[in-house]
Structure 1
Amino acid sequence: MQPYMQLMPTIRRHSVKWAWILTFQYVLYISIQLSATLILRRADGTWEIHMLANMGTIQALVLWGNIFLTLLTSTLFFIALIRDRRISTSTSHTQVNGTDFIHAVAFMQVFYNASIFLYGTGIVTYPLFTVGSIGGLLESASLQIVLCMFCFIWFRGRLESIGFKNPTDIGRMFLFIIGCYLGITFLLSYVVAPLADLFQISLSSAREEGISREIKDAKQNSLITIFFSFFMTGIFVPIAEEMMFRGVLQTYLVKKWGALWGILIASFWFAIIHIDLALFLPLFMIGLSLGIVRHRFHSLWASIILHSINNVVSVILSYQS
């Protein structure tokens, strides 16, 4: 047996059923969040999409019911994981499979549920750290930290299966990435924005405004927080998100349903997970570009670099505004 095989995760039998339940609860959570969307007409005549600060009674009951059920499911899920690790022998699979996929979704739901429970019940104050501080930047990237930890632990010894390998043609890859970035910029500026103006739809986003505020606050704090914000936004976040969305989810979906549907579904997922309907189309287009470069060059580094370029430019523009 090859040495790396001994480091691969063991077969998960008992935890799979709980992972499926967590996946259903994940879909329910996203649906509840999207249902708290309100479209309002502003004084200037444009339509603006808002996320309601307070949900209706039924929505709140369903949300909290899902939260407490997920707490129970999560407990049983981790007990099953521990049991599986103890009784199973090493598996020989080296590619991303359905077990990997369903466990990745389950861990995302565990994180979301824990966050809402801790913040929603007041056990942890929100925000826990000052906005724009190093702690605040880490807090805002807590999801990405969890995604990164999951991928490195779950796929230890087989990171190549999620795309951590040398691209087929580095020179052509960089030219393709630059072309994709310029293409995204052109489409957003000369297609999406004019269409939004034509249909009087506002592209303002509370989420994006919050990110910009955090970056500006980091600028006001110190030189260290400036560099840290560049690192988190421009390097760490792209690596973490690409590992999960293009590395795990897209890899499995492409294997299951082919490149077209795999990339489309992963891109839709990437856009919808931000819970930002105002910017759904731009996020979907960015997701498509990331998915295409990852698939085209058979390397996660391609999408990480493109994602990093997009984020770094956004940080620079936020600092200049």
Structure 2
Amino acid sequence: MQPYMPLLPTVRRRSVKWAWVLTFQYVLYIGVQLSATSILRKADGTWEIHMLANMGTIQVLLLWGNIFLTLLTSILFFVALIRDRRVSPWTGHTEVNGTDFIHAVAFMQIFYNASIFLYGTGLLSYPLFTTGSIGGLFESASLQIFLCMFCFIWFRGRLESIGFQSPIDVGKMFFFIIGCYLGITFLLSYVVAPLADLFHISLSSAREEGISREIRDAKQNSLITILLSFFMTGLFVPIAEEMMFRGVLQTYLVKKWGAFWGILIASFWFAIIHIDIALFLPLFIIGLSLGIVRHRFHSLWASIILHSINNVISVILSYQS
């Protein structure tokens, strides 16, 4: 069976053009959401960061204008992509290149845009399923499900290019991963938290509180939802996010600009895309650690394992709270 390969940039010029437009719309989407950040002083004197709490008329117009323009661009993008496939569906290309990179970003924008459109227009109620139910757990991981589907379809036949290969020096890798996790814990507990206290900044996060509530509600439902929450948060989410951020984005950025800048930019991207300024620094530190282990051991499995350890321990702590 001949492996599937994306088209080279010279062949896929039509879809690349629209992918760039979608990438610009992706940046605008992130910018509008970040611009709606509010910093409020609590009664105890600490500053608390609220995301999407101060969206004015201009921001709403920008957001919805971007949504409808993205819908139009998405149609043109898919038409061009289908035409490109018909022209030359097979090539001998195996490495992650700029075409893969820009299309990955384009598909992320398509997903975000579709989600906001469906929920924002009321075509789908939010949440669609009860929090903590089987449907709710899948709904909360809808982005990761999409990322996983995209990566497996787009890179089928060449998953090695995004890091699905045996790591070098497996024994050393496990010790390195443990050291990284302990390092993350130390930095968050003895550097980030004290700095936040020093500047009276609250590290509370509505996004994290929502995740913890989902996990606690799953605990109250049934054994199936408990096991599913462990599987989704501890295994599936790490695999999906690592495939996109360390597998596709970091791999290309490292190839383009070297390990230092590639890992740094991918980690910044990983942190900012969560739209959670209060936890930007912790997310950035975690992203750096994931990027380093993926690059150090030439395997996506290294970052998946570290990501899984971090998430599983977080789930356990949420169950105990």
Q: Is the 8 A contact 2:246 2:294 kept in 1?
A: yes
Q: Is the 8 A contact 2:23 2:102 kept in 1?
A: yes
- Residue matched to 2:157: 157
Question: 2:7 aligned with 1:10, yes or no?
Answer: yes
- Residue matched to 2:45: 45
After superposition, the C-alpha distances for 1:235-275 in whole angstroms (9 at most, x for unaligned) are: 00000000000000000000000000000000000000000
Partner SS, residue 43 of structure 1? coil
State the distance in 2 between where 1:52 and 1:237 align. 24
After superposition, the C-alpha distances for 1:72-111 in whole angstroms (9 at most, x for unaligned) are: 0001111111111111141111110000000000000000
- Residue matched to 1:78: 78
- Residue matched to 1:144: 144
After superposition, the C-alpha distances for 1:119-168 in whole angstroms (9 at most, x for unaligned) are: 00000000001110010010010000010000000000000000000001
Q: Is the 8 A contact 2:22 2:74 kept in 1?
A: yes
After superposition, the C-alpha distances for 1:6-32 in whole angstroms (9 at most, x for unaligned) are: 422334231100000000000000000
Q: 1:269 to 1:116 in 2, by over 3 A?
A: same
After superposition, the C-alpha distances for 1:44-95 in whole angstroms (9 at most, x for unaligned) are: 0111100234621000001000000000000111111111111114111111
Q: Is the 8 A contact 2:132 2:216 kept in 1?
A: yes
Partner SS, residue 38 of structure 2? strand
After TM superposition, give the deviation of residue 305 of structure 1 in Å: 0.2
- Residue matched to 2:173: 173
State the distance in 1 between where 2:109 and 2:89 align. 27
- Residue matched to 1:306: 306
Amino acid at match of 1:49: I
After TM superposition, give the deviation of residue 206 of structure 1 in Å: 0.4
Report the identity percentage.
86
- Residue matched to 1:214: 214
Normalising by structure 2, we get a TM-score of 0.98
Q: Is the 8 A contact 2:169 2:297 kept in 1?
A: yes
Partner SS, residue 7 of structure 1? coil
Unaligned stretches of 5+ in structure 1? Answer: none
State the distance in 2 between where 1:175 and 1:200 align. 36
State the distance in 1 between where 2:6 and 2:266 align. 24
Question: 2:57 aligned with 1:60, yes or no?
Answer: no
After TM superposition, give the deviation of residue 277 of structure 1 in Å: 0.1
After superposition, the C-alpha distances for 1:194-226 in whole angstroms (9 at most, x for unaligned) are: 110011000000000000000000000000000
1:115-154 → structure 2 map (5 Å cutoff): 115-154=115-154
Amino acid at match of 1:158: R
- Residue matched to 1:188: 188
Amino acid at match of 1:126: Y
Question: 2:225 aligned with 1:225, yes or no?
Answer: yes
Unaligned stretches of 5+ in structure 2? Answer: none
State the distance in 1 between where 2:170 and 2:139 align. 35
State the distance in 2 between where 1:228 and 1:81 align. 36
Normalising by structure 1, we get a TM-score of 0.98
Amino acid at match of 2:219: K
Amino acid at match of 2:72: L
Number of paired residues? 318
